[in-house]
Amino acid sequence: MSGFRAQWRRGRERGYTLVELMMALALFAVAVVGIIAMQKITVVSNAHAKNIAMAQRIAQAWAGQLEMDGTAWQTAFGAGWLNFTNAWQRPAYISAREFGAAFDALGNPLSDANLSQARFCTHVRMAWLYPNTMGVGGNGMLRAEIRVFWLRDGGVPLDSTTTMCSATQTPVQATAIGLATERYRFVYQTVGIRQHSQI
């Protein structure tokens, strides 16, 4: 009996067998691969959420700019950016406001001279709800749709010869961008802009 105990003790003192070690390493490798995959998904999800939050902030800033233009709209239509037709258009940069269509990765407005740094771009489309020619002054109202877009990961602009937010974009190109959902991601916002009567 004592010989059996001595042999058992010697077996325990030798440590793990090669099979046990290989099984432990395999389990560890599976766990590490799972953690790395989860980290990758987390990083991509966080980047996407950041882009959506930034685009929403840019859309809200644009809504504020258009509402501000509405306060100057009394008799003459066309103050600031209030001069669009019923088509998606890239608004021009206004240097007096230091505000335009292009924004960098942190949401800062970019002038047309720095469009190569643009990460987000804005299009605006306006349509009459109540024309200001109805005979009653101060009752005009517009619906302004704001579209902020950015490239999907690995995406390239529709026109690879220009920047994503080119200053020479036409309404036809802006419409084509809105249909290119495989290349761009979008955030939309709508705001009503009311004409102010003269006091």
With respect to residue 170, please indicate whether it lies within any of the assigned structural domains. yes
With respect to residue 3, please indicate whether it lies within any of the assigned structural domains. no
pLDDT for position 13: 61
Look at 1-10, 101-110, 116-125, 134-143 and tell me which has the smallest mean pLDDT. 1-10
With respect to residue 13, please indicate whether it lies within any of the assigned structural domains. no
Q: How many angstroms separate the CA atoms of 171 and 157, rounded?
A: 16
With respect to residue 48, please indicate whether it lies within any of the assigned structural domains. yes
With respect to residue 151, please indicate whether it lies within any of the assigned structural domains. yes
With respect to residue 9, please indicate whether it lies within any of the assigned structural domains. no
With respect to residue 50, please indicate whether it lies within any of the assigned structural domains. yes
* Residue the block writes with tokens 């009503």: 192
Q: Label residue 136 by pLDDT band (50, 70, 90).
A: low
The boundaries of the domain holding residue 78 are 32-194
Per-residue pLDDT of 67-112, as tens digits, reads: 888 888 876 677 678 876 789 999 999 999 999 999 999 999 999 9
Q: How many angstroms separate the CA atoms of 140 and 67, rounded?
A: 13
Strand ranges across the sheet with 184-194: 102-103, 120-130, 141-151, 184-194
Decide: helix, strand or coil at residue 101.
coil
Residue type, 10: R
Q: How many domains does the chain have?
A: 1
